């Protein structure tokens, strides 16, 4: 390959800029031409494709968001849209693509790469962490640290007033942010989509704590838990325990933003470098991850099927440590 493109697609995550920078600089180092494609697959269809230089990615390693912008793109679900995207890539002579995004973006890349002769390399960029084939996803570490910092602050005020706070963190189908931030902040309970919650047990443990005058309580809920988020859990708790001063806090989009953590910058830099190497070695249609500190290549079609499993033993640990 002599010309490659890079894009960020789907939900954004902190560290995407560090990955873009690594792709651009590694490509230029190897005398490739590197094109930045804006707004994910939209940019391929609308021909928003610009040459990147070393200076185009200066001063971005520490910035959240993505300088290439991200988007969801309806047209890319249709063959006609993907064909138009292909024609635009051809026009620029682009022979390989680096897609930084989540499993939806990889589903699109997989389809595109099997229909047209453009090898695609996927880099896992998502705050949800739930992708198989990697121990790290770009953005998770930052997001979970943001959640921890916020929950610590909530604990201070919860403690001052003896309140129960039910805190909602992001994760529509993934409980990783909830699990990790909940453990790290000493939550009494953690509700995640991957595990069934016995509401009677939850109420009984809160009643027990009320009796023991252990009044500070934090419950961390993933937005996609079976009750449908923190507000719904609070409704049940208020109904059953009207004496408890129960408050809800939804952390929301602060979890997506902010300066990426050191780990996210390292992972993004290593994966961005590896993506260019992979294209030069003639690899195609794989997601690159890191397992046990080694690069790991998972075919895109497998990467979109498998989910990283949560170790349920953590939930037991939460119960024991919060008692
Ligand atoms: P994420 O990558 O964060 O999971 P999405 O699921 O929104 O985000 O996917 C991002 C984009 O990838 C979609 O807007 C669409 O353009 C493309 N895409 C997702 N799934 C498919 C698919 N099955 N076929 C074609 N394109 C897809």
Report CA Rg, the chain.
22
User: Would you state the pLDDT for residue 319?
Assistant: 86
103 lines ligand 1 (CB under 6 A): yes
pLDDT at 145 over 80: yes
Cα 77 from Cα 96, distance rounded (Å): 20
9 lines ligand 1 (CB under 6 A): yes
User: Would you state the pLDDT for residue 92?
Assistant: 98
pLDDT at 143 over 90: yes
Supply 216's token pair.
């500070």
Per-residue pLDDT, averaged over 21-30, amounts to 98
For residue 99, the CA-to-ligand 1 centroid distance in Å is 11
pLDDT at 273 over 90: yes
pLDDT digits (tens, 9 = 90+) for 36-87: 999 999 999 999 999 999 999 999 999 999 999 999 999 999 999 999 999 9
For residue 299, the CA-to-ligand 1 centroid distance in Å is 17
Cα 77 from Cα 92, distance rounded (Å): 23
- Which residue's CA lies nearest to atom 3 of ligand 1? 10
pLDDT at 322 over 90: no
pLDDT at 216 over 80: no
pLDDT digits (tens, 9 = 90+) for 98-131: 999 999 999 999 999 999 999 999 999 999 999 9
pLDDT digits (tens, 9 = 90+) for 14-25: 999 999 999 999
- Which residue's CA lies nearest to atom 22 of ligand 1? 108
pLDDT digits (tens, 9 = 90+) for 178-214: 999 999 999 999 999 999 988 999 999 999 988 888 7
* pLDDT band with cut points at 50, 70 and 90 for residue 306: confident
User: Would you state the pLDDT for residue 312?
Assistant: 84
Q: Round the average pLDDT of the chain to a whole number and report it.
A: 95
CB 230 within 8 A of CB 168: yes
User: Would you state the pLDDT for residue 229?
Assistant: 95
Q: Among candidates 51, 18, 101, 30, which has minimal Cα distance to 278?
A: 30
Cβ neighbours of residue 29 closer than 8 Å, sequence gap 6 or more: none
Determine the residue of 8, 46, 77 to mutate for testing ligand 1's pocket, defined as the one with the most ligand atoms within 8 A of the Cβ atom.
77
Predicted-complex ipTM score: 0.98
User: Would you state the pLDDT for residue 127?
Assistant: 97
CA-to-CA separations, 76 to 41, 50, 117, 122, 300, in angstroms, rounded: 7, 20, 16, 16, 17
On the CB side of 137, how many CA atoms lie within 13 Å of its CA? 29
């Amino acid at each position: 390959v002599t010309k490659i493109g890079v894009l960020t697609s789907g939900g954004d995550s902190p560290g995407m800029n560090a990955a873009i920078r690594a792709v651009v600089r590694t490509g230029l180092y190897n005398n490739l031409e590197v094109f930045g494609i804006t707004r994910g697959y939209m940019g391929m269809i609308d021909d928003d494709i610009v040459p990147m230089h070393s200076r185009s990615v200066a001063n971005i390693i520490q910035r959240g968001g993505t300088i290439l912008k991200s988007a969801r793109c309806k047209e890319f679900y249709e063959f006609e849209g993907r064909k138009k995207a292909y024609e635009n890539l051809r026009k620029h002579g682009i022979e390989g693509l680096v897609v930084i995004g989540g499993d939806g973006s990889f589903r699109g890349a997989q389809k595109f790469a099997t229909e047209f002769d453009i090898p695609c390399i996927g880099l896992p960029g998502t705050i949800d962490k739930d992708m198989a084939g990697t121990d790290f996803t770009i953005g998770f570490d930052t997001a979970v640290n943001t959640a921890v910092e916020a929950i610590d602050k909530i604990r201070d005020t919860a403690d001052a007033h003896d309140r129960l706070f039910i805190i909602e963190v992001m994760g529509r189908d993934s409980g990783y942010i909830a699990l990790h931030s909940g453990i790290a902040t000493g939550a009494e309970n953690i509700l995640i989509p991957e595990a069934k919650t016995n509401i009677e047990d939850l109420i009984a443990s809160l009643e027990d704590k009320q009796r023991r005058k252990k009044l500070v309580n934090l419950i961390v809920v993933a937005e996609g838990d079976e009750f449908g988020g923190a507000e719904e859990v609070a409704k049940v708790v208020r109904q059953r325990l009207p004496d408890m001063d129960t408050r809800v806090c939804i952390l929301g989009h602060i979890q997506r933003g902010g300066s990426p953590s050191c780990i996210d910058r390292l992972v993004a830099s290593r994966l961005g470098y590896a993506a260019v190497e992979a294209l030069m070695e003639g690899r195609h249609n794989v997601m690159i991850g890191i397992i046990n500190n080694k690069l790991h290549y998972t075919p895109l079609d497998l990467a979109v099927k498998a989910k990283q499993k949560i170790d349920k033993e953590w939930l037991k640990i939460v119960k024991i440590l919060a008692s």
